[in-house]
Structure 1
Amino acid sequence: MLTPQGLKGKQFRITGTSYPRLGPPPRRGRRVVMFVGSLLALSLIALGGVQVFDIFTGKAKHGAAQACASARASASGKPLAVPAAATSAPGSPPAPGSPAASGAPAASGAPAAGSAAPSTAPLPAVTAAPQPQAVTVNVLNATDKAGLAAKTADELKQRGFTVGKVGNAPSALENKVPGSAELVAGQSGAGAAALLGAQVGGATTMADARTDGSVDFVIGEGYTALLDPNAAATALAAALKPSPSASPLPGSC
């Protein structure tokens, strides 16, 4: 075949099936690039397979469970087990900060109204409340409005509550309760506190170290009156209704 004019000395070959065409020969660089790309793709596939294997063998779940346990322990602020150093041997001096070291007597029985030390443990959630006749309430006035404790105590007595102490709140609480009321009870008085809390809107609840079921009804600056019986019954039903707990997502604590 004659070489066309202007292409003398250059290497070309005839390709194509429809008609002859002139094109350069294949380069080796393309083959090298394709080979390297294939190796990278195989490496990525192998890495993904290892990760899938770890997921199905449970290593990831075990690590997540340990992380959740650590998160719960740090959130509660309490160790999962009592340290050995927390218990002292017989005859050894008490640990610093303990009631025995400070000379404070152990709590026994119900302290006087308004004098109980606050407890760090919150009142437990309840789904049932006692009858008003079984609840002893101490009505204490923390405001400057005279006669408010006696008036509120009479209204609570008309609703069936057993009224205990009626008077002014301790000096530490005078003009220090901004809401409508503050209800103070022990762990055994959680149901009684819920029943009393439904009688007044905007009341807060606090726990102390008393062991009986009595409740201190401390009247605050925002108190105006008790709720009417129908509104109180509706509030009590809402307070005793257990709140649904959302199911945790897979992999979450």
Structure 2
Amino acid sequence: MGGQYRITGDKYPRMRRPRRRGRIALAVVASVAVLGTAGWGTLQLIDVFSGGDGDRASAAGSAADCAAGASPTPRVAERLPAPRLITVNVFNATTRQGLAKQTADELKKRGFRIGDVGNAAAQYDKKVKGTGLLLGPASARNTSLTVLAAQLTGAEHRTEAARKGATLDLIIGDRFRTLTAKADADRALAALAAPEPTPATKKKNC
């Protein structure tokens, strides 16, 4: 340069090393992973102390219920007595002869105990217009009277508070033709004894 320029001072320009972008990216990824792990651990702790396990158990139970169907709830009728434990008096309130004995014989085949058989008392004779009238004590309303009612569809049920004992009366009415078919009566009783879904279960979305 012909000596026109001189370098003065004791500082010289330094050459910087190129930045390693790969290391920076790796460090960023590692930081994110650490933060994510810490956050997940925090959520787990919160879940434990806030009863999260119970929620998961409830959810699991709900899934099981959906898979198995509605949760069964036993009906009161599940405690219905067997026919062999029920004594029935059979009375004929019609003008047709022999109905009381025929009906009593059929009930006996179905397992019922038979008490008195004959014509109906004056207060009921020729006054029962339906298929029949079933009488029993108040305690038989949802028990033995229900079992007997399954044998004669359409019969009127009536309880008497002052009635003593557990014996029932079947008074045959004008519209009586025959007892309900045994298979149909058995199905009706089985349906009453079967479990049914609770209202809460019915509303559940599966």
Please give the TM-score of this superposition, normalised by the length of structure 1: 0.44
SS of residue matched to 1:150: helix
Q: Does residue 164 of structure 2 align to residue 211 of structure 1? A: yes
Match of 1:136 in 2: 87
1:237 aligns with 2:190: yes
Match of 1:223 among 176, 182, 190: 176
1:201 aligns with 2:163: no
Report which of the two structures shows the higher radius of gyration computed on alpha carbons.
2
Letter in 2 for 1:144: T
Return the offset for 1:237: 3.4
Give 1:188 shift.
2.4
For 1:242 and 1:174, the matched residues in 2 are separated by 40
2:110 partner letter: R
Offset of 1:216 from its aligned partner?
0.3
Unaligned runs of 5+ in 2: 1-74, 201-206
Query: Aligned residue for 1:52?
Result: none
In the TM superposition, residue 239 of structure 1 has moved relative to its aligned partner by 4.7
Alpha-carbon distance in structure 2 between the residues aligned to 1:192 and 1:215: 8
Decide whether aligned partners of structure 1 residues 216 and 243 sit closer, same or farther in structure 2, where only a CA change above 3 A counts: farther
State the alpha-carbon separation in 2 of the partners of residues 207 and 245 from structure 1: 30
Q: Which amino acid aligns with 2:155?
A: A
Q: What code does the residue aligned with 2:145 have?
A: A
Instruction: Give the equivalent residue in structure 1 for 2:31.
Output: none
Cα displacement (A) at 1:175: 1.6
Determine the C-alpha separation between the residues in 1 that align with 2:136 and 2:122: 19
Aligned to 1:48: none
Question: Which residue of structure 2 aligns with residue 178 of structure 1?
Answer: 129
Measured after TM superposition, the shift of residue 246 of structure 1 is 8.0
Aligned 1:40-55 pairs, distance under 5 A: none
What is the alpha-carbon root mean square deviation over aligned residues?
A: 2.4
Q: Which has the higher contact order (CA 8 A, sep 6+)?
A: 2
- Counterparts of 2:170 and 2:151, CA distance in 1: 11
Contact 1:192 / 1:214 at 8 angstroms: preserved in 2? no
Q: Is the 8 A contact 1:136 1:163 kept in 2?
A: yes
Tell me the amino acid that sits aligned with residue 87 of structure 2: T
Structure 1 residue 187 displacement after superposition: 1.9
Change (3 A) 1:188 1:177: same
Gaps of 5+ in 1: 1-124, 248-253
Aligned residues: 123
Q: Return the structure number with greater helix share.
A: 2
Q: 1:145 to 1:197 in 2, by over 3 A?
A: same
SS in 1 for 2:140: helix
How much identity, in percent, do the aligned residues show? 41
- Counterpart of 1:220 in structure 2: which amino acid? G
Show the counterpart of 2:103. 152
